[in-house]
Structures are given as C-alpha cells and as structure tokens.
Amino acid sequence: MSSAQQGPGEPEVALSDEEWRARLSPQEYAVLRQAGTERPFTGEYTDTTTEGVYSCRACGAELFRSTEKFESHCGWPSFFDPADTDAVILREDDSLGMRRVEVLCRKCHSHLGHVFEGEGYPTPTDQRYCINSLSLRLEPVES
C-alpha cells in the first residue's frame, strides 16, 4: 500500500461517544464509529455520476473527488485514489477471518470502508477504495 499506512496518531476532531451519537444518525454511527458496512447496492452514492467533492459525513474533511470515482459494480462507491494522500489512514484489518486494509478519515478517524489492490480494474493506481455511502457527503460542483 501507499505511504498513508502509518499509525493514526490522535484525531484532530475528537468527540465523546455521546457527541458522535448526537451528531450522526444511528445508521451513520454504526458505519462511521463502529466500523459497520451498509448493504451492497443500497447506498446513496453507489451509482451517482454527479461531479463534486466527497467529504467525511462525520467531520466534513475532503476525502475523494468524482474524477477518481469509477464503476466497479461491487455494490459500494469505488474510487481509485483519495483527493489527497494525507486525507485517509490505512490500517490492517484482520476481522471477519480475512486480511483487509481499512480506510479511516485522518481528521476524525471514522471508518470509511476498505481498499483493495491488484483486482485488475483499468485505473491509474490498480486500487479500489470501497467506501460506504453513509461515510460520505457529496458536495456537487456548481456549473
């Protein structure tokens, strides 16, 4: 993986569990703060082609841009690269009996999804950031 795979350190946005629960819906809290996953093909941004910036739904940090979004047909929004290399933290995830790489928002350490590589998608990075729609908020570009 990339150099973004260093330890997370302290989050810039650090709220108590109660504050996160007040800020987020129960579904958002389950994904962002408890590393849950929304069901495939149900997310708001799975098939959207709207141009814009995808930010963290928990803290508002810019994470991805529509120019790096691609159709992977996996059931979740897919991106081949974050908007900024420092926007996310990558961390080994051995849960569910498999080895994966978890993607966290660097600013608030919220769970976004997982990143996979070597799957053969025709993208510049050969990576697929598989991100939960509930972790994102799309800010469309004004035309």
User: Distance between CA atoms of 111 and 46, rounded to whole angstroms?
Assistant: 17
Identify the active-site residue in 56, 59, 108, 130: 130
The answer to whether residue 59 is catalytic is no
User: Distance between CA atoms of 23 and 141, rounded to whole angstroms?
Assistant: 25
User: Distance between CA atoms of 90 and 82, rounded to whole angstroms?
Assistant: 11
Both tokens assigned to 118: 């070597």
Active centre residues (catalytic): 130
